[in-house]
Structure 1
């Protein structure tokens, strides 16, 4: 998966993961869905990262921070440009930065709103060569 409009979605709620995948695929993204954190980590460690990583915070026995750490550990040109943490647990006084991510999204996810946030972020955080 090249970085051009590519997205990796990791959520153990399979229905949600696939619904988001379908939404973003229809919007022109190349989407890969993983329903376990280990699959997402393996994918991130073995191939260049997607443009956007969308991961649940609590994924079975794993923590989404482990998925984020695997993404951030990639070489500079192989990291996702944007990392989004999704959680069903409302937490007071936390921000995306607390999870080393660029955006924190609380379930239920509004895909239109999330898509707008992603587009705005990517527009303002384009690499220097673009």
Structure 2
């Protein structure tokens, strides 16, 4: 490999994104890459540097809004419906994600869940679903819940989104990362399901009253 090219792993470290997110950017043409005779992708370093200059939080949101092709295909079950309480679950652990969505679907037919597997995926889904509630894990690699919450809190059009952060991190560890905004509800792992249901019940009741 020459100095002008890097692998997906190194590109992920430079841009602080997951390997899956880098692959999406390559597939969409946002990152220029070539394929070696062995079938491996090599990304042109210059394109990484160019993207790195404009991939801050606001630029990431613009990228998502202008390039819906970056997001995974959306089925009719996922498309946002105004008659539903939209909930976005951001969780890289499939077991936890299945637990949360299972609780909602069994107890509340008015709730429609969308799952994002990391922070970048969540940014893309936010533009599509505009959820009423966002539940995010804090400890995800490399685009974590802290970055996601900061981005959502900074956008005026997302001020109506109620946010829940879930994590096994201690209070001191969270404070070392800068803490969480006062408007974000924190639930430690294992999640207190009664408290989560109570939070969701309040939003479902408001939805019923406003229909």
TM over 0.5: yes
RMSD: 3.0
Would the aligned equivalents of 2:118 and 2:144 in 1 still touch at CA under 8 Å? no
Aligned residue in 1 for 2:201? 119
Of 138, 160, 165, 1:85 maps to 165
Q: The residue matched to 2:95 in structure 1 has which SS?
A: helix
Give the alignment's TM-score, normalised by structure 1. 0.75
Write out aligned runs for 1:1-130 (5 A). Answer: 1-2=80-81, 4-28=84-108, 29-44=111-126, 46-76=127-157, 78-92=158-172, 98-100=179-181, 101-120=183-202, 122=203, 130=210
Q: The residue matched to 2:89 in structure 1 has which SS?
A: strand
Would the aligned equivalents of 1:8 and 1:32 in 2 still touch at CA under 8 Å? yes
Identify the structure with the greater helix proportion: 2
Would the aligned equivalents of 1:48 and 1:79 in 2 still touch at CA under 8 Å? no
More relative contact order in 1 or in 2 (CA 8 Å, sep 6+)?
Answer: 1
For residue 65 of structure 1, report the CA deviation from its aligned partner: 1.8
For residue 9 of structure 1, report the CA deviation from its aligned partner: 0.4
Which structure 1 segments of 5+ residues have no match?
none
Decide which structure has the larger Cα Rg and report it.
2
Give the alignment's TM-score, normalised by structure 2. 0.49
Deviations 1:17-58, CA, capped at 9 Å, x for gaps:
1111111122221001112221112212x2252010000011
Which structure 2 segments of 5+ residues have no match?
1-79
Q: Would you say how many aligned residue pairs link Structure 1 and Structure 2?
A: 123
Identify the structure with the greater strand proportion: 1
Would the aligned equivalents of 1:7 and 1:32 in 2 still touch at CA under 8 Å? yes
